[in-house]
A and B are shown apart, each in its own frame.
Chain A
Amino acid sequence: AQSVAQPEDQVNVAEGNPLTVKCTYSVSGNPYLFWYVQYPNRGLQFLLKYITGDNLVKGSYGFEAEFNKSQTSFHLKKPSALVSDSALYFCAVQSGGSYIPTFGRGTSLIVHP
């Protein structure tokens, strides 16, 4: 079985400060890891993914994530937060070769002006 944990329901950060949204996972075999963002009344939008290669993955809108195999983590980061980054962020994992992702519960990111 595969699972994802997003330990924080909400993350608050001031505009211009760095942000981190945490994600840990459990999966058999090599993981495929994804981050998606959801704005109000919208579907999920892909941000970035890790399949293989460099542990540091760069994605859309200045976001990046670091794959840490020993800690089974895939935290989302951004050096300087914008108010427009405020949204719901979902981490997802699927085992290599599987088409079925498991999503976390989501973390609400609030960036204060």
Chain B
Amino acid sequence: EAGVVQSPRYKIIEKKQPVAFWCNPISGHNTLYWYRQNLGQGPELLIRYENEEAVDDSQLPKDRFSAERLKGVDSTLKIQPAELGDSAVYLCASSLGLAEQFFGPGTRLTVL
């Protein structure tokens, strides 16, 4: 069974540019999470989806971040415009309800 797929793995952009990350969760997992992990820290939740509905997005900086999960399967996280402080690893995870989460390899974003 394929795990959680994320692309790209690495992205380097200049500040004020837009960037998008894509995630395909494990088949059948209805819950999808986007996290940001800064160096030396644990993951911090940005947004959680139940099927296609965003149900926890209080930590998402909505002035510049947006996300969507069309048809309740794969998801895209976008930043526009990117700032220097957005440099981090962006992790996608999926789960079946309250069960343990399965994480993708992450996208390492560097904003110059």
Contact = CB atoms under 8 A, between A and B. Distances in A.
Interface string B33-67: 00000001111110010100001100000000000
Nearest to B104: A43
B100 interface: yes
B103 interface: yes
A78 interface: no
Interface string B73-105: 000000000000000000101000110111111
A100 B56 contact: yes
Contact of A44 (B45, B98, B103): B103
Interface residues of B, number: 25
Contacts, number: 53
A99 B55 CA distance: 10
Interface residues on A, range: 20 to 34
B42 A90 contact: yes
B25 interface: no
A106 interface: yes
A45 B43 contact: no
B4 to A, nearest CB: 7
B4 A43 contact: yes
Contacts of A28: none
B24 interface: no
Contacts of B102: 46
B42 A104 contact: yes
Contacts of B45: 100-101
A105 interface: yes
B106 A43 contact: yes
Interface of B: 4, 6, 31, 40-45, 48, 50, 55-56, 91, 93, 97-98, 100-106, 108
Interface of A: 4, 32, 34, 36, 41-46, 49, 90, 92, 94, 97, 99-101, 103-106
